[in-house]
Structure 1
């Protein structure tokens, strides 16, 4: 009868399971109709529409649904999109400060080359989302739920993940500066592609994440301070 190898017995150290990869969206947009309907409306329903090079700043689309849509080159300063649902859509070249997406749902979405600052995403739900390229400053992900999300080739400055739940989230070839993970819950979060990896708060919440040896050495002083270890 064959004996099963146990950690430290007969088979050497046990091999820990690899971090689970995020599932990426597969967005295939249909033929789109250009939007000619004026300003966004609260609880509006937008299906198969392309918003191109529009100034949406200050408009109110709270609770709206965007299905199979493309938003390209639009300004979204202070645009109100709280509780909006963005599904199977591609958002390219968005720019703006203070965009309000609190409690919004983004599912099967690609966000490409955005330049956003102070975007409010607290309480939001992101599932199968890729954020590719661009620069995102002071994103507010407090109490948000991120599942199958990839941050790729982008710069994240002081993102706030306080109290958020992150599952199967990857940081690929991107900069993560001054991140706040206070009270966050992480599961299968791959931080190895974040260079630099700067954690301003919440080092004690990184259980459930994987980092590289080099990142561990970079974080060593902060980890020592977190644990109350004096290094002389």
Structure 2
């Protein structure tokens, strides 16, 4: 992993979100299977809203509260989330394509079974994100803090972590292709050290992770 040349790691294809002129959200309740197109949600309290299976296209959410908001199986396309915050936001089995998430503060985020394609997560902090069995393709994490993120059984293809802090991350049973961990500022893997095949790490990271690799192989270091 550490010996792979940089040229062999395929770069993440980043989203190119160009929002049209947006209409202000009228403040009505979200609806399951609702259709939201070209809307701007600014400083809206969406806590407890239920929009299961809804579609958000060309939308911006700015500084919105998403505590216990239910967006499971939602489709979020060509959209920007900036400064959102919340605990227990449910995006399980949702589809995010061409999405930017900037400076979010989220805890207990549910993304299990979700599909993320051409997504950038920039800045902010996410605690206890559940990404079990999620599919991530062309996803870039930049300058963010991930605390106890669970990627168990997830599929990661062309995923990068730049200037991020990963604390107690779980990669158990994850499958990786072109996952670039070299830019991680702090890498703390709680589980799944044996599932890093398909990832690339730096020589310095290899030294830091050597005790974990040795333990995985049953090698004692004295």
Deviating runs (4+, > 6 A) in structure 1? none
What TM-score, normalized to structure 2? 0.97
Is the aligned partner of 1:86 residue 2:76? yes
> Partners in 2 of 1:141 and 1:130 — Cα distance?
15
1:145 aligns with 2:135: yes
Q: 1:55: which partner in 2?
A: 45
* 1:205 maps onto 2:203 in alignment: no
- Structure whose CA Rg is larger: 1
Find the counterpart in structure 1 of residue 176 from structure 2: 186
Structure-1 separation of matches of 2:162 and 2:102: 14
**Deviation for aligned residue 1:37:** 4.1
Q: Tell me whether 1:108 sits opposite 2:98 in the alignment.
A: yes
**From 31, 34, 42, the counterpart of 1:44:** 34
TM-score after normalising by structure 1: 0.93
Deviations 1:101-157 (Å, cap 9, x if unpaired)?
Answer: 000000000000000000000000000000000001010000000000000010000
Bigger relative CO (Cα 8 Å, ≥ 6 apart) = 2
Alignment of 1:63-74 (within 5 A): 63-74=53-64
Q: CA RMSD in A?
A: 1.2
Partner of 1:77: 67
Residues matched between the structures, number? 219
Residues 102-141 of structure 1 mapped to structure 2, 5 A cutoff? 102-141=92-131
Residue number among 156, 161, 180 corresponding to 1:171 in the alignment: 161
Answer yes or no: is 1:35 the counterpart of 2:25: yes
5+ residue gaps, structure 1, are 1-13
Rounded to whole Å, the distance in 2 between the matches of 1:15 and 1:162 is 27
